[in-house]
Amino acid sequence: MLSIYDYLAIAMYFGLIFAAGVMLRRQSKNTSDYFRAGGGIPWWMTGAALFMNFSAWTFTGAAGEVYKTGTFVLALYYCNVIGYATVWMWTCRRFRRLRVITWMEAVEARFGRGTQQFYTWIKIPILWLLGGVALYAVAVFMSSVFDVNLTATLVVCGVLVTLVSFFGGAWAVAANDLIQMFLVMAIAFVAAGLALHQPQVGGISGLLHRVPRSYFDWTANTPASVIGGWIVAMVLITIFSFNSVENSPKFLMLDNDRQARRMTLIPIIGLLIGPLIWIIPSMTAILTHQNLHHQFPLLEHPSEAAYVSVCLATMPRGMIGLLVSAIFAATITSLDAVLNQGVGVVVRNFYLPVVNPKAGEQQLLRISKILTLAFGVIIISIGVLLDQGTVPGLFSLTNQLAASLLMPMTVPLALCLICLRTPGWSGWSTAAVGLVVSGLVKFEFPHILPLLFPGLHPHISPTERTDALFFTTTFAVVGIGTAWFLITGLFYRHSSEAHRARIETMRRNLNTPVHEASAGTATKNHSLYKVLGMLGTMYGVAISLFALIPNRISGRVGFLFCGGVMLAIGLFMRRKCRNTPGLPPSGTIAPADTTVLEQS
């Protein structure tokens, strides 16, 4: 069970992120600052934020799959690497050249006001749902650690995440993401080392020798056709999702498009190394915790507590608190798309053009913060509903939501930067066709399954059936959606003059590099470095002092390692602060980034 030192570690972490939010709140002087940090965040910080999108699901849903099936979950992460590689090769610089504040403004520039409003009212509820799923995932973890009611844990976590986004906006999110990335990776290395050190495991060689052979043979329990279909579908999803204009907000935070390729390397490298570390505790659980249902009777899917069960058994006093902080850190980033970017879509693309076109920046900023709180309440409510119902496993649930709801909306958003010569209605009509196709596949799947597996379908397991539905939905949505979008190009010549003028303006912007840094970037980064340097140094020293707690030598070394990592980040930021120009004199305000999309 948790000790007083664990609660102290958790309190320290919450104090850190709230301090960052409060200290950086003055950086958000307008909606450009609040939603994309004024377009001037260093590339290595935005790259950290991009990498941190894996969320707490990695330590719950994915951990459960590792416990049940072994290394197959690595296929998911390496499919993501393929997706980021395509972004690195082509899309990343074009994202920065969109010259917008929110990604929905790019949708309007590409398709027009009608498609923009269509996406606003369809996409926001989907984001709420995904946010609720992410929140439910972290609540599963927290309730396992604290042995408290899942619903109560969900509400508390939701309130904390909402307040973090409310206080600081994009500046606080960027600052926290960097600290959180190093905290998560440091704790993950310690957790893996302690898990391998268990007598029942015997190090890496012992683990490889003792775990079931099926952990490395993906086709041992699942037909090769199902495995192959699942992998191909996941590759398609990552390529379309990562190259969608919806994925552009992190790139819009950069100084220039030359840095876009650099930042994309961080998630590529991180996802090549990170999963190999993350799966180790869950793999050792099959040797040391073979009855998770007895240990976690309140969980509907006890396998999702595989990671935490090993950590509870191996980590010293105080370290579990750091682990809880790390998992919570991953959740903050994953919910940013809903709380920060989702609110930005509503404010910039509905409230401003439709409700109050004359609203000033200060009024828009106040509305943004109010909506952040409202979105938080909605996401918490959805998470509570998921808790009250029957959830079919976080791994399968997340994949099915991606195929059924996200992909129909994503296909036109990815193709729109490849094929510009389509009419304005091509966006919403392709999304509508995709949603219809998704529904038809779901409804007709019992009749489709015998065609996919002629001699196998009577014996197919529920998990294999779910996987088959997943990749069948993906293939149908991507194939038919892509064909529909390309066919609409035949009607481009009948488009209005205004639409064709918008397309030519976007073409010029996409072909024109953003060379210079945003106005006021250096002065704003000075404050960012100053805050991170101070907080990182203090946090690193505090964690290092935990080595004084009477624990085994391995635990003390773990604290020194984690504290040393955070201290190094703090000292690096202090050095960056000294080498960066300071803020302008009191009473002056650095000009905000004004590189917005040209209008004809």
Q: Write the DSSP assignment of 408-450 as a string of letters.
A: HHHHHHHHTTT---S-TTHHHHHHHHHHHHHHHHHHHHHHHHH
CA 529 to CA 577: how far, in whole Å? 5
DSSP H/E element including 517: none
CA 237 to CA 240: how far, in whole Å? 5
Using an 8 Å Cβ cutoff, are 393 and 107 in contact?
Answer: no
Using an 8 Å Cβ cutoff, are 496 and 539 in contact?
Answer: no
CA 38 to CA 522: how far, in whole Å? 12
Sign of the C-alpha dihedral computed for residues 9, 12, 18 and 24 taken in this order: negative
Largest CA distance in the chain: 77
Residue 166 vs residues 32, 37, 375: alpha-carbon distances, Å: 15, 14, 10
Q: Could you list the mean pLDDT of each consecutive 10-residue stretch along the chain, which spans 600 residues?
A: 85 82 69 63 82 76 87 92 94 90 88 88 81 77 70 80 71 74 90 93 91 86 84 94 90 84 92 92 92 80 87 90 80 70 80 83 84 88 75 53 76 93 94 91 80 67 80 92 96 93 93 70 71 89 93 91 93 84 46 41
Residue 388 vs residues 150, 165, 293, 385: alpha-carbon distances, Å: 10, 26, 19, 5
What is the per-residue DSSP string for 338-357? IIIIIHHHHIIIIIIIII-T
Q: Which is nearest to 147 in space by CA: 332, 296, 361, 367?
A: 296
The two structure tokens encoding residue 181: 């990335």
The whole-number pLDDT of residue 600 equals: 34
SS3 (DSSP) at 429: helix
Task: Map 71-102 to HEC letters.
Answer: HHHHHHHHHHHHHHHHHHHHHHHHHHCCCCCC
The two structure tokens encoding residue 374: 């409202």
Residue 4 vs residues 82, 167, 312, 321: alpha-carbon distances, Å: 44, 28, 15, 9
The crossing angle, in degrees rounded to 10, of helices 203-210 and 258-288 is 70
What residues contact residue 228 under an 8 Å CB cut-off, 6+ apart? none
The pTM assigned to this predicted structure is: 0.82
CA 354 to CA 588: how far, in whole Å? 33
Encoded amino acid at 253, one letter: M
Using an 8 Å Cβ cutoff, are 554 and 579 in contact?
Answer: no
CA dihedral (140, 141, 143, 145) in degrees, to 10, reads 160
What residues contact residue 188 under an 8 Å CB cut-off, 6+ apart? 274, 277, 278, 326
Q: What is the pLDDT of residues 33-53, one digit of tens each?
A: 666 655 667 888 888 878 877
Encoded amino acid at 128, one letter: W
The two structure tokens encoding residue 546: 């935990």
CA 445 to CA 424: how far, in whole Å? 33
Place of tokens 């596949």: 441
Encoded amino acid at 426, one letter: S
